[in-house]
A and B are shown apart, each in its own frame.
Chain A
Amino acid sequence: MPIQYYIYLSLALFCIGIAGVLTRRNAIIIFMSVELMLNAVNLLLVAFSKMHHAVATAVDKVNNVGTDGQIFVFFVMVVAAAEVSVGLAIIVMMYRNAHSVDVNFLNRLKN
Chain B
Amino acid sequence: MSQLVYLVPLLPLAGFLINGLLRKSLSKQAVNIIGCGVILIAFLISLGLFFEVKANGPLIQTYFNFIDIKGLNIPFSFQVDALSVLFMLIITGVGFLIHVYSTSYMHEETTPHFARYFAFLNLFVFSMLLLVMGGNYLILFLGWEGVGLCSYLLIGYWFKNTNYNYAAKKAFIMNRIGDVGFLLGIFWLVAKLGTLTYGNVFAAAGNLSAVDVTGITILLFIGATGKSAQIPLYTWLPDAMAGPTPVSALIHAATMVTAGVYMIARSNILYSMSAVTENVIAIIGIATVLLAATIAIKQNDIKKVLAYSTVSQLGYMFLGLGVGAYNGAVFHVMTHAFFKALLFLGAGSVIHAMGNEQDIRTMGGLRKYMPVTHITFLLGCLAISGIPPFSGFFSKDEILAAAYAKNPVLWLLGVAGAALTAFYMFRLYATTFLGSFRGTHDQEHHLHESPAAITLPLIALAILSVIGGWIGIPAVMIPDANAFHHFLQPVITTEVVAEMPHTTEWLLMAVSVAVAVIAILIALGKFTKHPELNEPQGLGGFLAHKWYIDELYDAIIVNPLNALAGFFKNVIEKSGIDGIVNGVGRFILYSSRQVRLVQSGQVGSYILFMVLAIIVLVLIWINDGYIYTYLSKIF
Contacts and interface: CB of A to CB of B under 8 A. Distances in A.
Indicate yes or no for A touching B, C-beta below 8 A.
yes
Interface string B603-635: 110011001000000000000000000000000
Given A103-B602, A103-B603, A106-B603, A111 B596 contact: yes
A41 B608 CA distance: 20
Is chain B's binding surface mostly helix, strand, loop or mixed? helix
In the complex, the 9 A-B pairs of residues with the closest C-beta atoms, listed nearest first:
A110-B601, A107-B601, A109-B601, A22-B608, A21-B607, A107-B602, A111-B599, A103-B604, A18-B611
Interface residues of A, number: 12
B484 to A, nearest CB: 90
Interface of A: 18, 21-22, 25, 103-104, 106-111
Given A18-B611, A22-B611, A108 B601 contact: yes
A85 to B, nearest CB: 21
B59 to A, nearest CB: 80
Nearest to B604: A103
A109 B599 contact: yes
A58 B48 CA distance: 119
Contacts of A107: 600-602
Contacts of B603: 103, 106, 109
A111 B603 CA distance: 13
Contacts of B602: 103-104, 106-107
B604 A25 contact: yes
15 contacts: A18-B611, A21-B604, A22-B604, A22-B611, A25-B604, A103-B602, A104-B602, A104-B604, A106-B603, A107-B601, A108-B601, A110-B600, A110-B601, A111-B596, A111-B599
Interface of B: 596, 599-604, 607-608, 611
Is chain A's binding surface mostly helix, strand, loop or mixed? loop
Contacts of B599: 109-111
A110 B597 CA distance: 9
B339 to A, nearest CB: 84
B299 to A, nearest CB: 76
Contacts of A111: 596, 599, 601
Given A103-B604, A107-B601, 18 more contacts: A21-B604, A21-B607, A22-B604, A25-B604, A103-B602, A103-B603, A104-B602, A104-B604, A106-B601, A106-B603, A107-B600, A107-B602, A108-B601, A109-B601, A110-B599, A110-B601, A111-B596, A111-B599
Q: Which of A22, A25, A108 has the most CB of B within 10 A?
A: A22
A63 to B, nearest CB: 35
A106 to B, nearest CB: 6
Nearest to A24: B604
Contacts of B601: 106-111
B237 to A, nearest CB: 69
A106 B601 CA distance: 7
B261 to A, nearest CB: 77
A22 B602 CA distance: 11
A107 to B, nearest CB: 3
Nearest to A30: B604
Contacts of A21: 604, 607
B558 to A, nearest CB: 58
A42 B384 CA distance: 117
B477 to A, nearest CB: 101
Nearest to A15: B611
A111 B596 CA distance: 7
Contacts of A103: 602-604
A18 B611 CA distance: 8
Contact of A22 (B596, B600, B607): B607
A94 B624 CA distance: 45
A109 B603 CA distance: 8
A110 B598 CA distance: 9
A110 B599 CA distance: 6
A25 B608 CA distance: 13
A108 B596 CA distance: 15
Contacts of A109: 599, 601, 603
A22 B606 CA distance: 9
A76 to B, nearest CB: 21
A69 B604 CA distance: 32
B598 to A, nearest CB: 11
A57 to B, nearest CB: 31
A103 B607 CA distance: 12
A111 B602 CA distance: 11
A88 to B, nearest CB: 17
A45 B298 CA distance: 113
Nearest to B608: A22
B7 to A, nearest CB: 72
Contacts of A18: 611
A22 B604 CA distance: 6
A25 B604 CA distance: 8
Nearest to B614: A18
A13 B600 CA distance: 29
A75 to B, nearest CB: 25
